[in-house]
A = this chain, B = another copy of it.
Amino acid sequence: MIVIMKPKSPLKEIMMLKQKIEMDNDVSVNVIQGKEYCVLGLIGDTTTVDAGKIRANEFVENVKKVQQPYKLSNRLFHPDNTVVKIKDGSIGGDELAVIAGPCSVESEEQIVSIAKDVKKSGAKFLRGGAFKPRTSPYSFQGLRVRGLELLKIAREETGLPIVTEIMSTDMIDRFVEDVDIIQVGARNMQNFELLKQLGKTKKPILLKRGISATIEELLMSAEYIMSGGNENVILCERGIRTFETYTRNTLDLSAVPVIKKLSHLPVIVDPSHAAGIWWMVEPLAKAAVAVGADGLMIEVHNDPVNAKCDGQQSIKPKVFQKLMKDIDKMINAGMSREYDVVNI
């Protein structure tokens, strides 16, 4: 951590601050006196140093972090890729993990039929919302517990592990029992009480990036889960909020190589929610594969115009099938999808 002192700060104040920082924390402080600015360099483990406290000092101009504030999710201390195991499958290993299914579970017939379709095309996991976070209280809120039951039937029929979103702590026991991967949605990425409780389970957690979360904040939310003892975290890029209004959100594909560099956790991409437009799913899914994602999460519906939720972003089973074939071609073409960082 670097502390930049205000120009012309009295030496006495600088030395007092140095002493205070060293007393409050397990670090040593190096003073560098520049021409206009004096800078303090903190050496040691600064992840627990409270930058706000230092910034409150009236002679401090600014504080800049050097060390990343996350540890358990940090590739620096865990160089190998994490592979999260889910039943017979896994996310983060050599194979691309494709999760597919409808935005929300609507009926047994619907979810079973879609599950069979996506399995046939190569999906390895089934998604489907039971509890739905909707901007409006007047919109369909999901079948809730009944939705979970239907997902289990679809799993029974197809063997596909199921992924669904949790919205509050009081459902955790139920989800641990029923579900294979628990999804934390973008709106709950910083619902810290939920993250803490999920950290006490051993279930794989699919953590979606908040629409205005930085990559660092996403990793800090992963850290909440991991510091509770659960290291089975899968990250998901699903679009960020920008000024562009044609697409619902802007898919930040550059987040994939960045996360790969900073962290050992697997990262997948959800092109359906990002764009919010079904005909953009195909090109964005392929781009996600090319950029190095460990998997995809794709909304597939057999009857989008009658879907109870997000029909506009759902592709039909045949489009999904075509997409999966194209992705196979890409992967088999043998181009590199692991990017290392040597400028030869």
Contact = CB atoms under 8 A, between A and B. Distances in A.
B191 A191 contact: yes
Interface stretch (A175-183, A200-208, A239-247): A239-247
Nearest to A317: B344
A178 B152 CA distance: 42
B250 A341 contact: no
Contact of A67 (B36, B52, B67, B258): B36
A287 interface: yes
Contact of A58 (B58, B240, B291, B343): B343
Interface in A12-60: 20, 30, 32-37, 39, 41-45, 47-48, 50-53, 55-58
Interface stretch (A84-92, A116-124, A153-161, A332-340): A332-340
Contacts of A332: 333
Contacts of A279: 257, 261, 339-341, 343
Copies of this chain present in the complex amount to 4
A339 B133 CA distance: 31
Interface stretch (A93-101, A105-113, A164-172): A164-172
A168 B190 contact: no
Interface in A318-335: 318-319, 326-327, 329-330, 332-335
A139 B191 contact: no
Contacts of A261: 279
A169 B286 CA distance: 40
Nearest to A255: B244
21 contacts: A2-B66, A34-B66, A34-B67, A36-B67, A50-B311, A52-B311, A55-B312, A133-B190, A137-B192, A167-B192, A212-B241, A215-B244, A240-B242, A243-B243, A251-B254, A253-B284, A257-B283, A279-B343, A319-B344, A326-B335, A330-B333
